[in-house]
Chains A and B, each alone.
Chain A
């Protein structure tokens, strides 16, 4: 871990010129903090739009029978909810955090490629306007699932080219963001900060960025081929022309599985920053954490076919993908052990970031365990395409990725804004979120094991009770998030002044805490000294 020493003079010598005035500051932003802020506000907006779609889904599933929407619109909601939450909410939120925190944590003045940084952000509003506009075109929005499996996805109406173009734009944005992260980390670190002295959040993002570089082009290639199949007479995925629809699934999941880790590795980094601060101990097993992260990233490339056991594959293939998937439990177990060991005999306090980090630890582990169950081939034949899968990946992504984002916001918000937020309200937000997220997703395990299929607007009456409970959890969880938005915006507008270290009673560790709160517009004009 970097033993950074405060460079007291660092924030006394920054340039006098501050941000540009008016809209130009945001449109032509090249400052990593401004761009980070835009990413995070954009992701919050997408979180509420995607969340609104989830509310439609859960309202329809509140009771058996058709209630509110027609089945086609329901399918559009499930597809759009996933696309928006993955590409519009979770990924941009982590990129926003990377923008804000990586230069601060490695002691750099800004990201290495600030103009490309601006471009990679401003692509996103166009991409998502295009995607959301599909709701209003003939044939409606894409409804074949976020996985875009052909031949179903080829039946999309006028929305098809819009979907493909939007996915290309999102991919281009992610690739540019990843290039910026890698280039910044590899070339802009403060003198003395060797790789194994980098903060763990920076490490997890470095590895995540390599994953993005490797797999976003694969997604782009897959959707390019969907496009040429649709409009240019190729038959990559059309059996009638000698193509193979299953090949799309292989290519898609070669992207899709590392994508899961793209959404969880930075979460590991955040939790690894927060737990030591509020346990008042250094992170247990820093090197092991780095190697575990790298191992998870490597393994993520050789497990893709566990998403498609039921398409039929040779026994040797099933065995390989099952065992490789189970291997991921080893480095993940190392991480969970190290977080627990960090807390062991620590002087723990329960501020909102720590509460969310602990909740992450327990609930993400539930998602991990149900993933292990799904890795078992014969069991997967039963669980596949049921609500058990929905419960599994929502445990990974909501109390996993999203809770880590909440934890990060509560951890660094005072540093970003210079104000403390309302701790009592934040604790309310934590308890409401933690209770309702379990009411929402835990019953879905039971529904899946009882055989309820996913992606359906109606169901047999035997599933009625747990569906109603799950929907109540969803409404509660959705409403609780309004509290988060209120806390964040109140904190931006004002509040008690935050100190430079913010968590004075804790053990905050790293270069970001040596700067003022909020940090100067140009962070680290003079490179800090790292020992």
Chain B
């Protein structure tokens, strides 16, 4: 079991997916705050 999870290719895939998702989370969080800042007078 453990060997499969530690398979380098799979590990890279997991890391890549996590990074993309974190980027998405940060975009939505800061994007909406930035939008509100721009809309404030």
Residues of A within 8 A of B (CB): 14-15, 109-110, 112-113, 175, 178-179, 182-183, 186-188, 213-218, 220-222, 224-225, 234-236, 242-244, 247, 251, 254, 522, 524-525, 527
Residues A183 and B29 in contact, CB atoms below 8 Å apart: no
Residues B5 and A109 in contact, CB atoms below 8 Å apart: yes
Q: Which residues of A contact B26 (CB under 8 A)?
A: 217
Q: Which residues of B contact A216 (CB under 8 A)?
A: 25
Residues B40 and A236 in contact, CB atoms below 8 Å apart: yes
Q: Within the complex, what minimum Cβ distance (angstroms) separates B29 from chain A?
A: 4
Can you give 24 contacting A-B residue pairs, CB < 8 Å? A14-B1, A109-B1, A110-B1, A175-B25, A178-B21, A182-B21, A187-B10, A188-B5, A213-B21, A213-B24, A213-B28, A214-B28, A217-B25, A218-B28, A221-B32, A224-B33, A225-B36, A234-B40, A236-B40, A242-B41, A244-B39, A244-B40, A247-B39, A522-B1
Residue in chain B with minimal CB distance to A175: B25
Other-chain residue from B17, B28, B37, B41 in contact with A217 (beta carbon distance below 8 A): B28
Residues B17 and A215 in contact, CB atoms below 8 Å apart: no
Other-chain residue from B13, B25, B29, B33 in contact with A186 (beta carbon distance below 8 A): B13
Q: Which residues of B contact A236 (CB under 8 A)?
A: 36-37, 40
Q: What per-residue 1/0 map shows which CB atoms of B5-25 lie under 8 Å from chain A?
A: 100001001100110011011
Q: A113 with B24: in contact, given A242-B40, A244-B39 (CB under 8 Å)?
A: no
Q: Which residues of B contact A220 (CB under 8 A)?
A: 29
Q: A113 with B18: in contact, given A175-B25, A217-B25, A525-B1 (CB under 8 Å)?
A: yes
Would you list the 10 A-B pairs with minimal beta carbon distance, nearest first? A242-B41, A217-B29, A217-B28, A109-B1, A221-B32, A525-B1, A187-B13, A183-B17, A221-B33, A179-B21
Other-chain residue from A14, A113, A527 in contact with B4 (beta carbon distance below 8 A): A527
Q: Within the complex, what minimum Cβ distance (angstroms) separates B35 from chain A?
A: 8
Residues A187 and B17 in contact, CB atoms below 8 Å apart: yes
Residue in chain A with minimal CB distance to B28: A217
Q: Which residues of A contact B10 (CB under 8 A)?
A: 187-188
Q: A214 with B5: in contact, given A112-B14, A242-B41 (CB under 8 Å)?
A: no
Binding site secondary structure of chain B: helix
Residues of B within 8 A of A (CB): 1-2, 4-5, 10, 13-14, 17-18, 21-22, 24-26, 28-30, 32-33, 36-37, 39-41
A522 to B41, CA, bound (A): 57
Interface centre among A14, A183, A244, A527 (most CB of B within 10 A): A183
Residues B32 and A218 in contact, CB atoms below 8 Å apart: yes
A225 to B13, CA, bound (A): 35
Q: Within the complex, what minimum Cβ distance (angstroms) separates B17 from chain A?
A: 5
Residues A251 and B29 in contact, CB atoms below 8 Å apart: no
Residue in chain B with minimal CB distance to A251: B32
Q: Within the complex, what minimum Cβ distance (angstroms) separates B7 from chain A?
A: 10
Residues B32 and A217 in contact, CB atoms below 8 Å apart: yes
Residues A179 and B22 in contact, CB atoms below 8 Å apart: yes
Q: Which residues of A contact B41 (CB under 8 A)?
A: 242-243
Q: 14 extra interchain contacts, Cβ-Cβ under 8 A, other than A178-B21, A179-B18, A218-B29?
A: A110-B5, A112-B14, A179-B22, A183-B18, A187-B10, A215-B28, A217-B28, A220-B29, A221-B33, A225-B36, A243-B40, A244-B40, A251-B36, A254-B32
Residues A15 and B28 in contact, CB atoms below 8 Å apart: no
Other-chain residue from B4, B13, B21, B24 in contact with A109 (beta carbon distance below 8 A): B4
Q: Within the complex, what minimum Cβ distance (angstroms) separates A136 from chain B?
A: 31
Q: Within the complex, what minimum Cβ distance (angstroms) separates A93 from chain B?
A: 23
A215 to B31, CA, bound (A): 12
Q: Which residues of B contact A222 (CB under 8 A)?
A: 32
Q: Which residues of B contact A525 (CB under 8 A)?
A: 1
Q: Which residues of B contact A221 (CB under 8 A)?
A: 28-30, 32-33, 36
A366 to B3, CA, bound (A): 49
Residues A112 and B5 in contact, CB atoms below 8 Å apart: yes
A126 to B33, CA, bound (A): 26
